[in-house]
Amino acid sequence: MKNILVITTSIFGQNGQSSQLVAKTLDKLTRQYPDAQVHLRDLAKNPVPHLDAERFGAFLAAQDDATAEQAEVLAYSNELIAELKQADAVLLGVPMYNFGVPSVLKAYFDHIARAGVTFRYTENGPKGLLADKPVYVLAARGGIYAGTPNDSQTPFLRTILGFFGLKSVEFIYAEGLNMGDDRKTEALDQADSHIDTLTA
């Protein structure tokens, strides 16, 4: 493993529980692969702009016909995609906000989803164009949602990552973090054990 892409999304920065779970997973991986290059992208600290008509228009513009503003948007999108392509593994910290993923993560995916670049349409439906690689999703939640109809995150993330060709997705959940100290401690211990198992 030569390159690890780390994406955090917590509004609490590196103090967020999802970010701390990412840090633990990264520590395990870098102990195994001490020469691995780590690229950190904190989407809460440096958010990707939300998609609007102008930015979407830039994705549709022909490279040679793009205006200066469109070329800037394309270059930024290309940078995000290049990071993802170059990574041998991805660590994704995802807190649950109001039953969904953080809006900055949705904006990130909106800049990754480029027809002909990260996916293409075929007679049998869309096909992802990125090479598969391990994606570890560190999901921190105040309540209990995994396996229930209220867990919108898991199916969304499997769908959007699979849309790009990333099928090897592992979820590590820390749930019930706002349901008392004992439940929080138990949840974090279980998450730590899951991290140990996946990175062994």
What are 149-170's pLDDT values in tens digits?
A: 999 999 999 999 999 999 999 9
For 114, which DSSP code?
Answer: -
- pLDDT at residue 62, rounded to an integer: 66
Residue 88's SS3 state is: coil
Would you state the pLDDT for residue 65? 79
pTM: 0.94
CATH 3.40.50.360 fits domain 3-198: yes
- E-strand spans in the chain? 3-8, 37-42, 89-95, 119-122, 125-128, 135-140, 169-174
Residue 88: CB atoms within 10 A of its CB come to 16
Residue 91: predicted pLDDT: 98
The pLDDT of residue 66? 82
CB 142 within 8 A of CB 177: yes
CA 54 to chain centre: 24
Contact 23, 14 (CB under 8 A): yes
Q: What would the two tokens of residue 105 be?
A: 């993560």
Backbone angle region of 68, left / alpha / beta, with phi > 0 → left and psi within -120 to 50 → alpha: alpha
Q: For residue 10, count CB atoms less than 10 angstroms from its CB and return exposed for 0-12, middle for 13-18, buried for 19 or more.
A: buried
What percent of the chain shows pLDDT beyond 90?
A: 90
> Mean pLDDT, to the nearest integer, of 22-38?
96
Q: What is the rounded average pLDDT of the residues 28-57?
A: 95
> Which token pair is 189?
């211990």
